Amino acid sequence: MKVIKNLYFSPLFWALLIVLVAAFLVSYLFIGLFGLVKLAAAVALVVTLVDALLLFRAEKGIFARRDVADRLSNGDPNPITLHLENRYSFRTNLDIIDEIPFQFQRRDVLFQTSLAPNETQQLRYELRPTKRGEYSFGAVNVFVKSPLGLIKRRYQFSQDKMVAVYPSYLQMRQYELLAISNRLTDIGIKRQRRLGHSMEFEQIRPYVQGDDIRTVNWKATARRNELMVNAFQDERSQAVYCLIDKGRVMKSPFEGLTLLDYAINASLVLSNIALLKQDKAGIFTFSEVIGQVLPADRRTGQMQKILEVLYKQKTRYLESDYETLYSHVKNQIRQRSLLLLFTNFETVNALHRQLPYLRQLAKNHLLIVVFFENTETAQLLKTPAETTETIYLKTIAERFYYEKRRIVKELEQYGIQSILTAPQDLNANTVNKYLELKSRGMV
């Protein structure tokens, strides 16, 4: 029964069967061909049996294994590796079908290859999840053909595995490595010109071109007989909170990810950079009610706590309550902190409804409102208007385009800083803003 379950006929077998049936039909018209056709059918049967014997005489002729991480990074290409080994004494042709999680809605994870006796091979492909949560992998199915090619045997390696899709920790590590190696400019992070310096002394070091001449340490210069300067470090232990709006405005999709997922990935990157800069990082989520609150800290394990908090966040479908947000921030964040509010405003009227609470937050904290630009609207404005319909569409798109700029100006009037960004540029723009504020001594 097990043999029958794993027995499949190849396209070559069915083509041969069709030819034999056609030959038998023709032999009724030409009696002399009947004997030759019977002989050909007998030879085909013997070859098929030999082919089946070659494939099924070995209990474990093929070995396969899937290597996948215990957790995947949301919004990033994650590598998956298939390991294959041929234990037959002849060259085999393989069709490999990997049962990937249904969330990807892909039916094209099919690989075709051939292996010599005792040869091993690795096949690599990538999966890009667009939703956080649990993903279930199924079995690895390997269909084997001998050189005869009439029969296929299925090997099924049950590798049922549940993996969790977390916020983009791959982007977090990328920014972390570039920050450590001082190469953040490679991904759009600007070098910020320091407008002054803090009073936290770090060290005395040799002068290099570009150092502020006012920091020259003349006593050390006289002792060393070379120009020495005092080096100061950024102020540390400042609290940095990411306030993440989970309301319906953050449900909008862009390249498969919702705006909430972009905000979560950016919060993870920014929190990690803040901890590298010796600041304290915290998380505040809200919608019509307050979600999870993680107080700002920089102890060991804070990044793991942030990752676990962000992993569980889901978009809600009601309008967010900024009055409740202001009340909880006032009660729970007592010291002056940097607040990065990830939300989205489409119109000035939508901003005006929440502006009183934003102004109250800005009185006690350094508030930055981060919201998103509709890139499809910007692309539509660049296309020529050739019909009446496209003229109307461009007029409406232009209105929404300038509404976003009006929101920025409106916030500036009340001393509230903002970041208007395309979703794909969110990480670089938020880190740039944070480093700018650090260089200006504002945080």
- List, in sequence order, every residue forming a beta bridge with 73; answer none if it has no partner: 166
Q: Which amino acid is at 54?
A: L
CA distances, 53 to each of 16, 40, 63, 80 (Å): 19, 20, 19, 33
Give the pLDDT score at 179: 61
E-assigned strand segments in 215-372: 228-233, 239-245, 253-254, 257-258, 280-286, 290-297, 338-342, 366-372
Give the pLDDT score at 284: 93
Cα atoms in the Cβ-side hemisphere of radius 13 Å centred on 339: 27
Residue 87 token pair: 């234990």
E-assigned strand segments in 52-132: 62-67, 71-73, 78-86, 92-98, 110-115, 120-127
Give the pLDDT score at 144: 95
- Which of 241, 244, 204 has its CA nearest to residue 344? 244
- The whole-angstrom separation of Cα 343 and Cα 400 is 17
- The whole-angstrom separation of Cα 378 and Cα 194 is 33
Q: pLDDT 10s digit of each residue in the chain, 443 long?
A: 677 888 899 999 999 999 999 998 888 888 778 888 889 999 999 999 999 999 998 888 999 999 999 899 999 999 999 999 999 999 999 999 999 999 998 887 899 999 999 999 999 999 999 889 899 999 999 999 999 999 999 999 978 889 999 998 888 887 776 665 555 555 555 555 554 455 555 678 888 876 777 888 888 888 888 888 887 655 567 899 999 999 999 998 888 889 999 999 999 999 999 888 888 999 999 999 999 999 999 888 999 999 999 998 988 888 899 999 999 999 999 889 999 999 999 889 999 999 999 999 999 999 999 999 888 887 777 778 778 888 888 888 888 888 999 999 999 999 999 999 999 889 888 988 888 888 777 66
- The whole-angstrom separation of Cα 329 and Cα 285 is 11
Domain boundaries, the chain: 1-166, 169-193+235-439, 203-233
- pTM assigned to the model: 0.78
For 13-35, what is each residue's pLDDT tens digit?
999 999 999 998 888 888 778 88
Locate tokens 């029969």: which residue?
151
Task: Give residue 21's Cα distance to chain centre.
Answer: 54
- Which of 338, 343, 340, 366 has its CA nearest to residue 354? 343
Asked if domains 1-166 and 169-193+235-439 share a fold, the reply is: no
Mention every residue, 6+ apart, whose C-beta is less than 8 A from residue 173. Answer: none
The dihedral region occupied by 34, where left means phi > 0, alpha psi between -120 and 50, and beta the remainder, is: alpha
Q: Residue 157 belongs to what H/E stretch?
A: strand 151-157
Q: Which CATH superfamily is domain 1-166 in?
A: Immunoglobulins (2.60.40.10)
Give the pLDDT score at 195: 47
CATH code 3.30.450.20 for 169-193+235-439: no
